[in-house]
Structure 1
């Protein structure tokens, strides 16, 4: 009975970890530069660079919207009415992982490919076991990052397609995100 309770608790903990790993990046400050969420860097009195980094479950559009939302919030926080996009850069990073299953024999050399975010390495070593047949399967995951540079301003707002009313944009994006999350 006690062993079954421990097994159930371990199963629930593992399920919780898997669910946490498979959910989209939340709108939040990143714990560190390069982490998931937003970061901001002041470039001048009224200029900032904002970057939002999402995980492989967060789609490209959401990452871009979160960067714009942070720009709108920062604009209001700094006492300005509007911001203008000066530069925009969107990146994607793909990671492919391959797993091989099959029958092992004794003796031989083992070769496999280890892939990270930016590159893959081929590893070769002598092993007491050798894969003598099997099936390889690959999974590719893509994550997105959006960086924008903004210039803040007060009324009058320029008549420019790259200028945004911070209050209006923040309200619109929050409403849209709330509808999407429900």
Structure 2
């Protein structure tokens, strides 16, 4: 029995550890999934989107979108890009769980039964009533940054929304290296 408990605790720790990290800088498997996507809007225009999970803060999501814009600019043979449009959306979802209900006779009991990968809400009608229980509520927020860029070659315009792609990519990669340590 102790071995089963030790295994369950170890496995739950591993699952929790996997879900505790932010989205890494990577291409998304599909549109709307975590990571970056890009859509060509013209020969020198793109929409770049980065979607983070609930552990990826807004600033990191914006930085990853900018890094992808810089990389895309360089890959297409351009030196700089101009931000035509920038938008950051947030999506929040809340969940409530109730645990630790003791059954003492008479009423309806509502509780969550959780396994390793999911939870199930259970409502039971019985001649018994319940007492006790702890309710907890969690709100998770995901951010998505979307940029529309126009790429160009020298000379770069003297504009606050124009970025040297090589310098920006280098700066953001250096920052990401320090943040990972």
Counterpart CA distance in 2 for 1:110 and 1:134 is 10
Cα displacement (A) at 1:125: 6.6
Structure 1 residues 50-86: Cα deviation after superposition (integer angstroms, max 9, x where no partner): 1101111111100000000000000000111100000
Structure 1 gaps, min length 5: 113-122
**Alignment of structure 1 residues 1-182 onto 2, 5 Å:** 4=3, 11-101=9-99, 102-105=101-104, 108-109=107-108, 127-128=125-126, 131-182=130-181
* Aligned partner of residue 171 in structure 1, secondary structure: helix
8 Å contact kept, 2:109–2:129: yes
Structure 1 residues 145-177: Cα deviation after superposition (integer angstroms, max 9, x where no partner): 100100011111111100000000000000111
Counterpart CA distance in 1 for 2:58 and 2:81 is 22
Aligned CA-pair RMSD: 2.7
Moved over 6 A (4+): 123-126
Counterpart CA distance in 1 for 2:133 and 2:169 is 53
Structure 2 gaps, min length 5: 112-120
* Aligned partner of residue 48 in structure 1, secondary structure: strand
Change in Cα spacing, 1:9 to 1:103, as seen in structure 2 (3 Å) is closer
Counterpart CA distance in 1 for 2:137 and 2:103 is 20
Q: Which stretch shifts more, 89-98 or 101-110?
A: 101-110
Q: Which stretch shifts more, 92-101 or 23-32?
A: 92-101
Equivalences, count: 170
8 Å contact kept, 1:84–1:163: yes
8 Å contact kept, 1:38–1:53: yes
* Aligned partner of residue 127 in structure 1, secondary structure: strand
Cα displacement (A) at 1:139: 1.2
Counterpart CA distance in 1 for 2:32 and 2:87 is 15
